[in-house]
Amino acid sequence: MSAPLLVKGKLQLDSPFVLAPLAGYTDLPFRLLCREQGAGLVFSEMISSHGLVQGQQKTGAMLQSIPEERPFVAQLFGAVPEIMAEAARRVCDLPVDAIDLNMGCPVRKVTKRGAGAALMMQMENAAAIVRAVCAASSLPVSVKFRSGKDESHQNAVDFARMAEEAGAAFLTIHGRTWAQAFSGEANWDTIRAVKAAVQIPVIGNGDIDSFALGCRRLEESGCDAVMAGRGALGNPWLFAGTERPQSLTGRMPLICRYLDLCQEYLPLERVIFRIKNQVCRFLGGLSGAVSARQQVLACPSLESIKLCLDRLLLAEDSRQNTFGQ
């Protein structure tokens, strides 16, 4: 598979598989884990431009990065061009390789302020944001957007042309409408049409849950890279092109690596809920997953999560021995 060049001289990926921005999940440990498994590019969670400009500590912490995870894209959201530009200036001082502008988030808290997917219906403001951020930034600027507002307002191609004209260096298109949120299927015909409409590189996104499907989508859509979101949760093996192991024993090496990275890089007391959620994702599809998740969610600390996993491993072992008799 060829290694895509997303931005001449600046962003050379070693794989065309990209980890999506996922609020609540794509912190430094998970991004690193996915890079170690072969993801060619990783995105931060969406970061409030207001929060960043106001110097909120939590917002700044979301941009924590280390050289091993690069190339790393920081994603900003907001609706005010000047604030987005100021936030971008601050990001440019950090070890970041590109700035992505969120124009696809369907969550009401975001859209009611005119940010996220609401910008797809406010093309002039969206263009003003892209122009302002490009002018303020020494880094490549990208835009992540959707296929449109709803089934009867699908303006992805026009939106992509607008973003290109306003200065975007590359684009990510999620092939669902704002109205769909995360339901139904992504429309890869729209993604292919966007790729064909612009000269800049395009990352296609929607429903990629295996390496094989990602390869097929790459070929069919002509996209430069593909992005996996939910399919990568609890499944960084997706990036390595190997099947997710069927047993907890098989999954333990990556779970342990994730927990070690959390220990190294996160303020554990403050993020224990997020860590538990992430561990629960790793248990999906295993026998007894419902009860295992409940046990993990009841853990008060990282140490207790590890002990809980040890107990679950023992239980798996004894089940297998019983079946083997």
Is residue 174 a contact residue for ligand FMN (CB under 6 A)?
A: yes
CA distances from 230 to 19, 146, 206, 261 (A): 10, 16, 9, 21
Is residue 231 a contact residue for ligand FMN (CB under 6 A)?
A: yes
Q: Which of residues 58-117 bind ligand FMN (CB under 6 A)?
A: 75, 102, 104-105
Position among 229, 254, 276, 280 found at the interface with ligand FMN (CB under 6 A)? 229
Q: Considering only CA atoms, which of 77, 24, 86, 23 is closest in space to residue 55?
A: 86
Q: What backbone phi and psi angles, to 5 degrees, belong to 311?
A: -65, -40
- CB of 228 or CB of 286, closer to ligand FMN: 228
308 catalytic residue (yes or no): no
Contact 131, 168 (CB under 8 A): no
Position among 205, 221, 235, 295 found at the interface with ligand FMN (CB under 6 A)? 205
With CB atoms as reference, the residue minimizing the distance to ligand FMN is: 229
Contact 16, 226 (CB under 8 A): yes
Q: Which of residues 10-49 bind ligand FMN (CB under 6 A)?
A: 20-24, 45-46
Say how far apart CA 95 and CA 255 lie, in whole Å. 27
**CB of 23: closest distance to ligand FMN in angstroms?**
4
**CB-count exposure of residue 183 (10 Å: 0-12, 13-18, 19+):** exposed
Position among 149, 230, 281, 306 found at the interface with ligand FMN (CB under 6 A)? 230
Position among 35, 144, 192, 244 found at the interface with ligand FMN (CB under 6 A)? 144
The residue behind tokens 């699908």 is 154
Chain positions contacting ligand FMN, by CB under 6 A: 20-24, 45-46, 75, 102, 104-105, 144, 174, 182, 205-208, 228-231
Active site residues: 105
